[in-house]
Amino acid sequence: MQYEQLNALVEDYFKRKTEVEKEVLCFEFNLFDGLRINEDHHTHVLMQLLKYEYVAAAFLNEFIADGNLNIQKPQVAFREQYMDGKIFEQDYCVIIENKINNADDQYRQIERYIETALKTLKDKQKLFVIYLTQDGNKEISSESLTDKAKEILDYKTADDSGRFITINYRDDILPWLKDYVLPNCKFKDDILISGIKQYIDHLNGRFGLRERQKKIGEIMSTKIEEVFGISAETAVDKLEVLKSKRDELEKFKNDINGYIRNEVLGIDEFKKLSEEYLNRNNKDGDINFVVKEWSDPRWGHFLQFNKKSWTRHLVYFLWSLNDEAIASGNWSWDLQMKSGERERLKKKIEQNGFSQSPSKYLYHIRSKEYKLNKSFAQASDAEKRSFIESAYQEVEALSKIIDESLKQK
C-alpha cells in the first residue's frame, strides 16, 4: 500500500475517532491527565498517600509477606538519598524503586540503596525492596540487582526472590486502591478521597480500563473494518488482513520517526559529528555514546556520553534533545553526578567557576544555552561544525577537571 493511501486511511480513521470521542467524552475531566505526570510524579502521589498511617500500614500488609513486621507509626520519604520512595520505622525499611515508565536500571542501583539503608537499620532481614513497574513486563537487570544485593535480600530466583518484591500498577496498585484504600478512607478525609478517585481514573485511562474508553473501543472496532475495507468473514482471514495492515502502519510510523529524527532535527548527524569531535580530542578512544528516546516519548531524545573510566562513578554528560527545542535551535547539556564522588567533584568544579543546579536527589551542572536558531538538519556544514566546537568547549574543560579529580582518589 502506498503512503498516500495509508495517510488517507489514517486521517479517515482518526477523523471518525475524534467525532466519537467528542460525543462520548464531552464531560471528560481528570487533573492527572491534564498535568501529564511523569515517573517522579507517580512516586510522589504514592508517597503522599502513604503519609496517612492507616494507608501505609495497609500497603505493607498487602505487599510485604512478613507477619513479624512490627508496624506502629510508619514514616515515608520521597527522593531521600536517591531512593524513589521509602517506608520505614526503627525496626524495618521498605525501599520503593518506581519504573512505571520503564526507565533504565542504573549500575549497582539496588545494591547502593541497600548499603545506604543498612547504615541505620540493624537487621538486614527487615530490609525489603519493592520494584514497581507499569504492568509487570519489565524485569530488573543484574547490573542493578547485583549478586551482593541478591545475597542480602535472600534472592535466589525470580520465583523465590526473598525480600525483593515485584509489583506493578495495573495488577497490584490499581486494585489495591479500588478495593481497599478508597472503601476504607475516613469520611473526614474528603480531599484524600477526591485525589484517590482522580488517580484511580487516571490509571484506568492509562491501561484502557475506563468504561467510556471501552465504549469508544466498541464503536471504533466497527469503524476499523469500514476504514480498511475488511470484508473477510472468518476470524482467521480477518486476522491475516489486520496483521498485514498493522505491519504496514508500523513501517509507516518508523519511517515518520526516522524522517523527524534525521531530516527535521538532524539528531544522528549531531551524534556523528559529536563523536568525531570528541574522539579527535581524546586519542585513547575512551568515549561512550548513546542516543535514546526518553521513557516518555513526549520528551524526545537524549544523547548521553561519558568516558569509560567514569562509568562506575555514575558521572556523565547528557544532551536533552527535546524535539521542540532542537527544531528551534536551542540546546543545552547537563553534567550529572549520582555517585558518592559528587561532593568531591562538586568542590573541584565550583573552584573552576562553573555554577551548579542542585536538586534534592541529583547534583548537576547545566551549561549555558547554545543557540543555532535553526534545527541541526537545516544548518550548513560550516554552521554545524562551528556549533559543535563551541558547544563542547565547556565539556572539554569539565572533562579535564573530572579526570584529574578521579585520578586523585
Quickly list DSSP for 205-271. HHTT--HHHHHHHHHHHHHHHHHHT----SHHHHHHHHHHHHHHHHHHHHHHHHHIIIIII-HHHHH
CATH number for the domain spanning 59: value is 3.40.1350
Say if 368 falls within a structural domain. yes
**Residue 360 neighbours by CB under 8 Å, 6+ apart:** 79, 80
- The candidate with the shortest Cα–Cα distance to 88, out of 28, 130, 42, is 130
Q: Are residues 175 and 298 in the same domain?
A: no
Taking CA atoms, 75 is separated from 50, 66, 153, in Å, by: 8, 18, 22
CATH number for the domain spanning 391: value is 3.30.1460
Computed over every residue of the chain, the mean pLDDT equals 81
Domain final residue, candidates 156, 184, 212: 184
Say if 393 falls within a structural domain. yes
| Most confident by average pLDDT, 7-16, 136-145, 203-212, 281-290 | 136-145
Q: Are residues 175 and 272 in the same domain?
A: no
Per-residue model confidence as pLDDT tens digits over 251-307: 888 888 888 888 888 888 888 888 888 778 776 667 777 777 665 555 666 777 777
Distance between CA atoms of residues 193 and 175, nearest Å:
15
Whole-number pLDDT of residue 361: 39
Distance between CA atoms of residues 268 and 262, nearest Å:
6
- The predicted model gives 384-403 an average pLDDT of 83
Whole-number pLDDT of residue 342: 63
Q: Are strands 330-331 and 301-307 parallel, antiparallel or unpaired?
A: unpaired
- Cβ contact 315:335 at 8 Å: yes
Q: What is the DSSP letter of 67?
A: T
User: Which of 78-82, 248-252, 303-307 is predicted least confidently?
Assistant: 303-307
**Residue 233 neighbours by CB under 8 Å, 6+ apart:** none
Domain final residue, candidates 157, 184, 211: 184
Distance between CA atoms of residues 323 and 257, nearest Å:
11
Domain final residue, candidates 149, 164, 184: 184
Say if 307 falls within a structural domain. yes
Domain count, the chain: 2
Residue 25 confidence class, pLDDT cut points 50, 70, 90: low
- The candidate with the shortest Cα–Cα distance to 267, out of 331, 317, 311, 335, is 331
**Residue 53 neighbours by CB under 8 Å, 6+ apart:** 73, 74
Give the three-state DSSP class for 275.
helix
Say if 22 falls within a structural domain. no
- DSSP secondary structure, 94-147, as one string: EEEEEETT-PPPPTTHHHHHHHHHTTT-S-GGGEEEEEEESSS-----TTTS-H
- Cβ contact 293:305 at 8 Å: no
Higher per-residue pLDDT: 262 or 14:
262
At residue 362, does pLDDT exceed 90? Answer: no
Say if 259 falls within a structural domain. no
Q: pTM (2 decimals)?
A: 0.64
Whole-number pLDDT of residue 285: 63
At residue 397, does pLDDT exceed 70? Answer: yes
At residue 1, does pLDDT exceed 80? Answer: no
Per-residue model confidence as pLDDT tens digits over 151-161: 999 999 988 99
Whole-number pLDDT of residue 130: 97
CB-side neighbour CA atoms (13 Å) of 1: 19
- The predicted model gives 122-134 an average pLDDT of 94
Distance between CA atoms of residues 200 and 185, nearest Å:
14
Residue 360 confidence class, pLDDT cut points 50, 70, 90: very low
Say if 13 falls within a structural domain. no
Q: What is the DSSP letter of 368?
A: P
| Percent over 90 (pLDDT), the chain | 29
- The predicted model gives 16-39 an average pLDDT of 73
The grid coordinates listed for 283 are 586519542
Say if 150 falls within a structural domain. yes
Residue 358 confidence class, pLDDT cut points 50, 70, 90: very low
At residue 90, does pLDDT exceed 80? Answer: yes
Whole-number pLDDT of residue 359: 45
Per-residue model confidence as pLDDT tens digits over 91-122: 999 999 999 988 878 778 899 999 999 999 98
| Percent over 70 (pLDDT), the chain | 80
Distance between CA atoms of residues 178 and 60, nearest Å:
16
Find the domain containing 367 and state its range: 266-407
Say if 78 falls within a structural domain. yes
